[in-house]
Amino acid sequence: VSASSALMAFPFIIQLVVVIQSTVGNTMTLIGVISLLIAISLSLKPLAYLKPTSTNALQQAEAKRQLARILFFLVAVSLFIASAASNSFAWSIFEAKCTGASCFSAEDI
């Protein structure tokens, strides 16, 4: 991901984060959102502007950045999945018996 595309997607991601956190937010989603934002900011290549002492040092720093980005992304995704699995609203939608265009009966509302 290039820095310019990640930078342009950042406001959209912030809006999405606010909607998710305000709708079904708990501690797990908050930590997941912070992990996701860190992973996205690492994709902006913050180490690209440091002056490397050698090509080997630059390659090692890039490999560490990629590993950290993947780890933060995996933490975010796993926390979002765990949060969705523990959310009673998500389970009620999953277990709903849908007939036609409606998933809820008059008694459920």
Cβ within 8 Å of residue 44, ≥6 positions away: 3, 6, 7
Would the pLDDT of 15 be above 90? Answer: no
The reported pTM is 0.63
Q: How far apart are CA 48 and CA 27, in angstroms?
A: 33
- CA 58, 64, 65, 66 dihedral sign is positive
- CA 53, 59, 60, 66 dihedral sign is positive
* Identity of the amino acid at 63: A
Top-confidence range, 6-10, 70-74, 93-97: 70-74
Q: How far apart are CA 55 and CA 87, in angstroms?
A: 48
The number of angstroms, rounded, from the C-alpha of 32 to the middle of its chain's C-alpha atoms is 6
Would the pLDDT of 46 be above 60? Answer: yes
Give the pLDDT of residue 52. 67
